[in-house]
């Protein structure tokens, strides 16, 4: 089966391409390297079942595929805020082009949505039937509202054209191949700790997150793609909640760092609590995270040690 992974040279995309190849699939990795990097998939080049395409999805394209994982979109606040208009285009123009490809090929498509569709949630933990609390004109809206309209487009194509869509709402994910400067909290804290720099905690650090290791997330995406008749949305993420301050203390201890923890003002619209309800994923695809936070952080720290030190 020929599988297209858009954003395949990104953090999650590169791990997904690798898993699909190891499962015997023929994989087309499509990326324009806006936030992805060829280095993340360099080890896959040369595999006879792997094809790499450099392309911007905001222009229409044609390709023969049977399944599509659409991961193409900047995903961390510094990345998606850098060019808000392009982020919106990725979630509208590019989304339409990918859905059109799915329609023409009668291909199954999984849209990588996000926990950010819930905004700064008033419901905790977040269930799939919660509509969210999103600021439509805030600094994060290009991504939050962009992903919400991408979900709407997916469902419109499902209802009007019978496209076989799945929507996975991805919560905070971490692991090897994250970028050193991508702005995510785990990579920020690890890099700052390894460099002996101040570990920057925004606000008082009481805001919570739940972190899912990359191998668990990729397994969840594959299970959801393979499930019959499951359009979603379905939450994928860890239910183990931790405050940002406790995460900073944990990473400082695990790296043996002498860094100080320094507080900065909380960014606008930064969610105060973030944890998924994953009962639907457990019931429908038999998925839940297996890697605990300490084990995942150890592997992630090893990865960054090679790049920082």
Is the Cα dihedral 36, 38, 39, 45 positive or negative?
A: positive
Q: Is 174 exposed, middle or buried (0-12, 13-18, 19+ CB in 10 A)?
A: buried
Residue 99, C-beta contacts closer than 8 angstroms, at least 6 positions apart: 109, 153, 154, 157, 163, 165
**Contact criterion met (CB below 8 Å) for 185 and 209:** yes
Distance CA 211, CA 188 (A): 14
User: 182: which 2 tokens?
Assistant: 């991508």
What stretch of H or E contains 169? strand 165-170
Which of 86, 143, 157, 174 is an active site residue?
Answer: 143
Nearest one of 232, 16, 87 to 4, comparing CA atoms: 16
User: 52: which 2 tokens?
Assistant: 């790499």
80: annotated active-site residue: no
Tell me the catalytic residues.
143
């Amino acid at each position: 089966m020929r599988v297209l992974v858009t954003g395949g040279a990104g953090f999650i995309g590169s791990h997904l391409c690798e898993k699909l190849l190891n499962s015997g699939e023929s994989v087309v990795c499509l990326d324009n390297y806006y936030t992805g990097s060829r280095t993340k998939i360099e080890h896959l080049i040369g595999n006879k079942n792997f094809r790499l395409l450099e392309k911007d999805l905001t222009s229409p394209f044609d390709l023969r595929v049977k399944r599509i994982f659409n991961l193409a979109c900047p995903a961390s606040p510094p990345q998606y805020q850098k060019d808000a208009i392009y982020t919106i285009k990725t979630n509208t123009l590019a989304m339409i082009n990918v859905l059109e490809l799915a329609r023409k090929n009668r291909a199954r498509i999984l849209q990588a949505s996000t926990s950010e569709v819930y905004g700064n949630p008033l419901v905790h933990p977040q269930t799939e039937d919660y509509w969210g609390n999103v600021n439509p004109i805030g600094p994060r809206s290009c991504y939050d509202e962009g992903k919400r309209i991408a979900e709407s487009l997916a469902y419109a194509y499902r209802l009007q054209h019978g496209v076989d869509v799945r929507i996975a709402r991805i919560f905070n994910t971490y692991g090897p191949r994250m970028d050193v400067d991508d702005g995510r909290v785990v990579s920020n804290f690890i890099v700052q700790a390894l460099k002996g720099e101040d570990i920057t905690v925004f606000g008082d650090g009481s805001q919570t997150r739940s972190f899912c290791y990359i191998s668990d997330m990729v397994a969840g995406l594959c299970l959801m793609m393979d499930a019959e008749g499951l359009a979603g949305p379905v939450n994928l993420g860890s239910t183990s909640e931790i405050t940002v301050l406790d995460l900073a203390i944990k990473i400082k201890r695990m790296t043996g760092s002498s860094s100080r923890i320094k507080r900065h003002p909380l960014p606008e619209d930064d969610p105060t609590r973030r944890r998924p309800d994953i009962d639907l994923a457990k019931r429908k695809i038999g998925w839940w995270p297996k890697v605990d936070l300490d084990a995942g952080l150890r592997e992630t720290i090893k990865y960054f040690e090679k790049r920082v030190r």
